[in-house]
């Protein structure tokens, strides 16, 4: 290969994102990606044996951009919700130039359940990375629940993000803040439930998420 491996990978990924934004995920082949990138098919296949690996590489790139903006130490005045809000907004800022490609991936996953299942592990890794960047544990059963919860929030907020043309993504910020506040209330209720002596809802606690 005449080009450095990192440059070749980036060219292939950029070509993939441009093609699926234009044609949709299903209608793009790996050979087309190679041609659009100006690379040999064997060269692209060496790094990305299928389109799913390209989609996973896209998510990993976004993760890396978010991590690059993560402070080296946490502010003791910030709550976990504050930190998660900052992390996820950095993610949406990083995703902004690729919204068309993101829509193409989402549409393809909606129409193809097998693709949606295959995309699950990379998405969960991304959500685990976002939690860790916010200094929120992502391991064990509690971590798995947090990953699922953040993924559900991400899916909901992404629909707002898709249509948010404001300069500061104000609609996305409002949707994310609202979802995180609701999740925080549920988390606090769950913690009280777990810590109560009899394993039930402690006195005075409401089962409503608005409590």
Taking only the tens of pLDDT, the chain with its 211 residues reads 445 788 999 999 999 999 999 999 999 999 999 999 999 999 999 999 999 999 999 999 999 999 999 888 888 889 999 999 999 999 999 999 999 999 999 999 999 999 999 999 999 999 999 999 999 999 999 899 999 999 999 999 999 999 999 999 999 999 999 999 998 887 666 556 555 555 554 444 433 333 3
Question: 3-class SS at 31?
Answer: helix
d(CA 52, CA 144): 23
Per-residue pLDDT, 72 = 85
Per-residue pLDDT, 184 = 84
Q: Do 34 and 19 contact (CB within 8 A), yes or no?
A: no
Question: 3-class SS at 168?
Answer: coil
- Name the residue among 8, 50, 17, 47 with its Cα closest to residue 31: 50
Both tokens of residue 146?
Answer: 């947090």
Q: What is the pTM of this model?
A: 0.82
Q: Do 150 and 131 contact (CB within 8 A), yes or no?
A: yes
Per-residue pLDDT, 51 = 96
């Amino acid at each position: 290969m005449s080009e450095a491996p990192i440059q070749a990978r980036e060219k292939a990924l950029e070509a993939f994102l441009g093609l699926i934004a234009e044609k949709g995920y299903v209608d793009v082949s790996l050979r087309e990606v190679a041609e659009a990138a100006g690379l040999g098919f064997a060269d692209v296949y060496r790094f990305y044996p299928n389109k799913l690996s390209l989609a996973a590489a896209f998510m990993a790139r976004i993760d890396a951009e978010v991590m690059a903006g993560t402070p080296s130490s946490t502010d003791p005045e910030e709550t976990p919700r504050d930190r998660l809000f900052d992390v996820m907004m950095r993610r949406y800022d990083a995703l902004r130039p690729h919204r068309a490609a993101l829509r193409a991936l989402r549409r393809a996953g909606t129409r193809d359940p097998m693709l949606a299942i295959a995309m699950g592990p990379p998405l969960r890794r991304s959500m685990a990375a976002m939690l860790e960047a916010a200094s929120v544990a992502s391991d064990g059963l509690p971590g798995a629940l947090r990953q699922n919860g953040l993924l559900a929030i991400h899916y909901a907020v992404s629909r707002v993000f898709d249509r948010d043309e404001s300069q500061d993504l104000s609609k996305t910020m409002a949707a994310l803040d609202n979802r995180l506040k609701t999740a925080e209330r549920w988390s606090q209720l769950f913690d009280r439930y777990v810590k109560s002596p009899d394993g039930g809802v402690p006195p005075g606690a409401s089962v409503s998420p608005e409590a």
